[in-house]
Structure formats: C-alpha cells, structure tokens
Structure 1
Amino acid sequence: MLPTTVSNRALLIAKQWPEPASTAAGRRTLDILDLLSDAGYIIEIASPAQPTPFQAHTGYSEHQIEVNDSSFDDWVRALDPTLVIYDRFMMEEQFGWRVRAQCPRAVTLLDTSDFHSLREARHLALKTGQPLNLFHPVAEREIAAMARCDLTIMISRVEMDLLKTHFGLPDWQLHYLPFLVREIPQPDTLPGFAEREHVAMIGGFKHAPNRDAVSWFAETVWPQLRALLPGVECHVYGAYADHAMQRFHAPKAGLRIIGRTDDALATLARYRLNLAPLRFGAGQKGKILDGWLAGTPTITTPIGAESMAADDAWGYPLTEEPDLFAKIAADIYQNRERWQTVRDAGTRALVTNFSHAPHARAFIARVDSVAADLDAHRNRNIWGRILRRTEHRAEEFMSRWIEAKNQLPGNR
C-alpha cells in the first residue's frame, strides 16, 4: 500500500536501474538522489527496465513500472510526488504526459546525463565523414522533452552554451550540475610513480564512444605506443565486454581485455597511466574523473577533455593524432617529473570543478526556487506550454482515428 502524501517526495523515472560500478551515468544518478535525500526528500526510484545483478543497492524505495500501461496513472497519483526526475528524454516521452495529468503540481526535471543528440550527431559525422549536423530528429525529440520540463540538468557547460546559442533554450530552463566529489584525495596518500606499472583504459562497453575508443586505440595507437614502451601492457576494463570487443584481446601484443571491475579507483591506482582515447561523445567523462581520483595521470583527446578542464590545464597538448597521442603517453609514462605534473593537474581540476558543497547548495536552491513560484516559471515557458497542449500531434491522430473508425463496416 502506498503512503499518503508526504511533502518533498522525489520520484526518479529511470531508463535503467543505476549501475554505478558499470557506468558513470549510474553514479551521477545516485549523486542527484543523494543530494535530494540530504535536503529532506523521500526518494522513490521507478524503472521499466528489468533488474540486473549489478544494479546498486540504493536503500531507496524501488518500483517496477510498465510502459504503455495505464496502471502507472493510478500508481503515480497515489504516490503524489512533489518532484519528478526523468533519466533521459525517452523517459519523459513515455511517462511525462501521464505525470502531468495525474500530478500537475509536481516540479519536473530532465537529467540528460549528457546531451544525447550531440553524441549521436558526432558519431554520425565520424562514421560518414560528413559535417556535424546538430539539427536531426533525435535533437528535435530531446529539445522537446527539455521544453516540456520545468528544468533540465546539464552536466556540461559546453552543452549548455550550445543549447542556448543553437537551439534557443533560455538560461532559466537549464542548470549546471557536474560530477560531484565529496573528498578529494591527497596525491601523497596514493601509490607513486615507481609503485605503478602498465597503462589502463576503463569504460562500459554498452556506451558507443567507449567501443569506438577501444577499436581505434587497438588498431592505430597501441602498435605505436607498444613500440615506444616495450614490455608495457595495456589492460582494458569495462562492463559488458561482448565478442566484438573481445576480438581485440591480444596478450602476445600486450593488449588485454579484462572486463568488469568492481572498484574502478582501486584498479586504476595500480597503473601508471589512464588512457581515454575518445573520438566522439558528450558530457563529462567518468573514466577521466576516476583517473584523477586514483591519482593516475590521464591522457585523453579534445573530445575527452571537453567539459572536464580547460584545454591548457592538462600538462600536455590534447590531440587525437595516433602518433602524437602515443608519443605523449610514452613520454609521460617514462618521465617521473612530467608524470607528477600531469597528476597534479588532475588534482587541481578536481578542486576547481567538482567540489561537492557549492554545487549541492546551488542545485537544491534552484529546485526550491522553481517550486516556490511554479506558475510564474511555467508561464514564461511558452514553447513548453504549446508542446504540452498539442501532445504528440493529438489533433492529427484524432482526425486519423475518426477517419479509420468511419471506414469500419456499419459506420459508412
């Protein structure tokens, strides 16, 4: 039996059950829920996805829901959340109209995790060699979901600027919330240069940028890096390493596909370098954050560096040229002084960009501000009001339904 209405009840509608040990997105989801819990919200998680053996034991109430099922309406009306968070725009498409009908006073947030349509556009441009096209059908769906919500949480300032300049979203509909770090480790408490060996890569294999990074690295970078560092191995970690990724497992060439690790920080702390050779993607990169937290210098590309730290804050030039990437990695691997410089740059980035307290306060204050004057906030959002009124081209589909009904035997 569902509880009676309680003030400050937050409902997350999640595309997948959070797996913080498998994906950075799962860890971010739990960060947001923990922020709300610390602020006094009762937390509920609902998902249409099947449970997995790797999902987090959150301690929050969890509910299995179904798509395209009106039983959700009665359930969410009884739950009566004051705040609803959609984990990615697909969940807003599936459940947003139901939430608006049953819980019209609930503040609605969209957490994009990264700007999905930007990642898709970059992937397509990489595959086809065509110029980047931001204005495609996935973008239309994602921007529409943003417009229908009261607030969209963005993990990247680069993407916020893109949404404002290219898509015309106003600043008051967006809120920046990066990865959050409660405790920043001191480098001298972690293994040093001489205590580490080999290089590592990490990232879940359900994520297309990670699959491409492993493929590109194995085929173009690793042969050059291995020649510069004879005897050094690269160990690749990530959940859901399927057959297509296992084909790069080549122990004789020093490249090993290890698979899942339960503790990314402890794993990375054993290695001298953390490699993130990303050629496309969006948002912030959990693999880079983990490298910094483990005190492991991270070598990445311009795409990897985007939204994590300024281009001149890494201690080396950013590149995705295979030969230069290999030379930079080999030099830092062998040079203790350069290694420490790059490691210290990562620690500074943690302090400057990811400290928990200021971002936590700003996020809760923003949610409270929207909730306190919800009608005025929604009245400013004319495009959201229009999209909510003409839900899914309702007039067209009603006309089509009547036309089809009129064609049935007995109605002619």
Structure 2
Amino acid sequence: MSRNTNRKHALLIAKQWPEPASTAAGRRTLDILDLLSEAGYAVEIASPAQPTPFQAKTGYAEHQIEVNESSFDDWVRTLDPTLVIYDRFVMEEQFGWRVRAQCPDAITLLDTSDFHSLREARHQALKSGEPVNLFNATAEREVAAMARCDLTIMISEVEVELLKQHFCLPDWQLHYLPFLVRALPDPETLPGFEQRQHLVMIGGYKHAPNRDATVWFAQQVWPRLHPLLPGVECHVYGAYSDHAMHRLSDPATGFRVHGRTEDALATLARYRVNLAPLRFGAGQKGKILEGWLTGTPTVTTPIGAESMAAENAWSYALSDSPEQFAATTAQLYQNPSAWLAARDAGIRALESGFSYPHHAAAFIERLETIATNLEAHRNRQIWGRILRRTEHRAEEFMSRWIEAKNNAQSDR
C-alpha cells in the first residue's frame, strides 16, 4: 500500500454540527479539529444534519451531505481525505462502507465522546433495578464500528479498560484522549468565596443523564438541601430546555430553571458551588471540567466523578445518597476552608489529567505511526476485516435499497 504520509487532509463526518455552547461533546469536537489543524491538517466538516442557530463558526470548510445518497461517493472520492473521523458510531454505519470503497487509503477514526452503550445500559439498570447489562444491542453495533475503524479515541480510561476486558478490543486499536486544557486557571484572578453566591447546575437537555439529574435533584435533594441553606437559590441552566424541565422551577424555594446560557464559564464563575448530581452516564463530564476551570467547587456523585479524578481526589466523600449530597453541598457552601479545599482539588485534577501538550502530542504521534504502517496495522484487525466483508454489508444494502426506493418515488 503506497501512501503519501506528508499530505494531511482530515474530514469529520458529524451527526450534528458542533455546538460548543450547548454540549461538552461539541466543545470536544472542536478541540480535536483545532488540534489537527495545528498539526498541519487541512480540516473539513460534513454533516447530514440541518444547520442550527447555535452551531459554531468553526472557520473550517463545511459541507451538507445526505444519507442513503450515492452522490456522497463521488464527492468524498474527489475530496480524497487522508483521515476520516466519525463522531458517532451511527455515522460510521451510514458512511463507513462508502468511505472505504472510495478512499481505501484514508485512516478511519471513531470518536465515541462516551461509550454510548454503557450509558444506555446504566440508564436501563436505573429504571429497572436490574444489574447493568453491558452486552446489549447498542453495544454490538458500537463495538462493531470500533472494530471496523483503524483507531477509536476514548475520553474515559475506565471505558478503555472496559472495552479491553469485556469486549476484547486490543490496546493498539484504542487511544485515550481526554478533554484538553491549555492553561490552568489562576485562583487569584477568579472570584473568591465571599464574592459568589447561590448554587448552579448546567447541562444540555438533549442528554438524558442531565434530564434525570435535574429531576432527581429537584425532587429528592433540593427538599433536603433548601432547609440547610435558607435564602440560597439553585439556578439551573441547560440548552434545549423544554416544558417538562421548566415545570420543575419553584420560585418560592429559589429553585429556578433558566434554560440556555451563552457563556458557561462566565455563568459558573458567579456561583459559589457547582452541582453535577448524575445518576447514570459515561465518559468525562464537561460540566465538572468547566466548574474546575472557573474555580467553582463541584459536588458530584460516583458516576459523575468517574473518569474525571480518583475517588480520593475530591476533598469530600462521593455519594449518590440525597441526604449525603445535600450535606456535602451545604458544607462546601457554608465553610470557606472546605470550599477552598474543593476548589484546589479541582485545579490539581486539571493539572494532572488534562494537559494539552502531553495528550495532544501523543495523539498526533499515534496517527503518524498508523499512517506510516497502515497496511501492517490493518492486517492485525482480523475481526474488523471480517465485519467489513460480512455483517456490515447489511448497512450498505439497506442504504442502497432506501436510495432506490426514494428515486423510484421521485420519478412518479
């Protein structure tokens, strides 16, 4: 396989246009694209989603594409990217077989943002009371997409180990890439304990864990916490809030659902304590990272803390008990020493786990290693090769059938 490893042209095929002000996934996507651009890649974005008023002005070339349309084949062959990134496994299912046929030498990379099937399994377990079942239908599809790609980047070390131990994915097909922090916050320039007031929650409501967290906090934690902090309000922000979320507002007790905030960091910096009462989920948590970046101590659960920092690194005992969550929040809100300890623990977590120079360099080095040894790398992927030859053809034939059906209807 002959390759020109000096030419660097990256194409992101995105399920949605990146909305960094709405979701942590949107911010992570732009971080990755900026990282690639700084490494010398020409970067372009394509998506079948309709544009939104909240999508980022990325500065990169953007293309509207269609699913189940063979016109994509000619387009991507002409574009001829050397690196193709799918930001969800469903995008790999839709377009992966087309990319492989038209651009066989392009490195393919899956960015999961989080392990979707783990999040779904935890959600189902929470609703049913049954143990978590990792081996669900979504996992079959998601792991198959990982196997078909040259590399999968994971935002959680916990999920890397889970994929290796329970799904037998090899280490050389996975790469850990956390949120990337270019500069640590300077506590001297941020509002201090006395300059802040009230509690804050933040998170987009297209994300099921955020909806559940808001409901659980409003119904189970706030009635216990409000009496401990008389006069203190809790302000909840989230993109795509709807009537169900706004109905949780209770002005009489100071629980207020506001909806979208245009600048999450500026908003968080006004509040004394940040809350992340997550009961299920996966991956790293943008709301916690933003709390640390603004010097806002964050109270969270074991699920929220997972993949962010070790259990003993939070300055308080993690808990998903409503009583303990309320007690910890009250302690950080009222005690300046406890507040400072939690703030400093967050800054230490940023420094130890999210260094841009370390993780960015390792990621680019990994891509370059694969590019210079692509044939050997792919020869090791026997299960990916089998899936590309057999089971994944179902997506291809379904897509071709839908396209033929659509064309027939348009001819009538």
TM bucket normalised to smaller? over 0.9
The aligned residue for residue 290 of structure 1 is 290
Structure 1 position 191 matched with structure 2 position 191 = yes
3-state DSSP class of the match of 1:252?
A: coil
- Retained in 1: the 8 A contact 2:202–2:287? yes
Structure 2 counterparts to residues 229-248 of structure 1, below 5 A: 229-248=229-248
Amino acid at match of 1:227: P
The aligned residue for residue 407 of structure 1 is none
The aligned residue for residue 387 of structure 2 is 387
The aligned residue for residue 339 of structure 2 is 339
Structure 2 counterparts to residues 13-412 of structure 1, below 5 A: 13-392=13-392
Displacement of 1:35 after TM fit? 0.6
3-state DSSP class of the match of 2:110?
A: strand
Distance 1:383 1:66, change over 3 A: same
CA–CA separation in structure 2 for the residues paired with 1:288 and 1:50 = 29
Displacement of 1:339 after TM fit? 0.3
Range with bigger deviation, 182-191 or 339-348: 182-191
3-state DSSP class of the match of 1:200?
A: strand
Distance 1:394 1:181, change over 3 A: closer
CA–CA separation in structure 1 for the residues paired with 2:156 and 2:392 = 29
Structure 2 portions without partners, runs of 5+: 1-5, 402-412
- Retained in 1: the 8 A contact 2:314–2:342? yes
Distance 1:373 1:284, change over 3 A: same
Structure with more contact order per residue of length (Cα contacts < 8 Å, sep ≥ 6): 2
3-state DSSP class of the match of 2:261?
A: coil
Displacement of 1:188 after TM fit? 1.5
CA–CA separation in structure 2 for the residues paired with 1:178 and 1:314 = 18
3-state DSSP class of the match of 1:253?
A: coil
3-state DSSP class of the match of 1:63?
A: strand
Structure 1 position 12 matched with structure 2 position 12 = yes
Distance 1:295 1:9, change over 3 A: same
Amino acid at match of 1:21: A
CA–CA separation in structure 1 for the residues paired with 2:160 and 2:196 = 38
The aligned residue for residue 408 of structure 1 is none
CA–CA separation in structure 2 for the residues paired with 1:394 and 1:179 = 35
Displacement of 1:394 after TM fit? 5.3
- Retained in 1: the 8 A contact 2:97–2:396? no
Displacement of 1:319 after TM fit? 0.1
Amino acid at match of 2:297: P
Displacement of 1:7 after TM fit? 1.9
3-state DSSP class of the match of 2:69?
A: coil
CA–CA separation in structure 2 for the residues paired with 1:30 and 1:395 = 29
Displacement of 1:187 after TM fit? 1.0
CA–CA separation in structure 2 for the residues paired with 1:162 and 1:51 = 35
Displacement of 1:87 after TM fit? 0.5
Distance 1:81 1:317, change over 3 A: same
- Retained in 1: the 8 A contact 2:156–2:283? yes
Instruction: Give every structure 1 segment of 4 or more consecutive aligned residues whose post-TM-superposition deviation is greater than 2 Å.
Output: 391-398
CA–CA separation in structure 1 for the residues paired with 2:395 and 2:339 = 62
What is the aligned length? 395
CA–CA separation in structure 1 for the residues paired with 2:183 and 2:348 = 13
Displacement of 1:396 after TM fit? 13
CA–CA separation in structure 1 for the residues paired with 2:218 and 2:123 = 19
CA–CA separation in structure 1 for the residues paired with 2:120 and 2:381 = 27
CA–CA separation in structure 2 for the residues paired with 1:154 and 1:275 = 25
Distance 1:109 1:245, change over 3 A: same
Amino acid at match of 2:104: P
Displacement of 1:186 after TM fit? 1.1
3-state DSSP class of the match of 2:312?
A: coil
Q: Deviations over 1:41-85 (max 9, x none)?
A: 000100000000000000000000000000000000000000000
Distance 1:98 1:218, change over 3 A: same
- Retained in 1: the 8 A contact 2:108–2:150? yes
Amino acid at match of 2:114: D
Range with bigger deviation, 179-188 or 72-81: 179-188
Q: Deviations over 1:215-263 (max 9, x none)?
A: 0000000011101001000000110001111110111111000111111
RMSD of aligned alpha carbons: 1.6
Displacement of 1:213 after TM fit? 0.1
Displacement of 1:392 after TM fit? 3.2
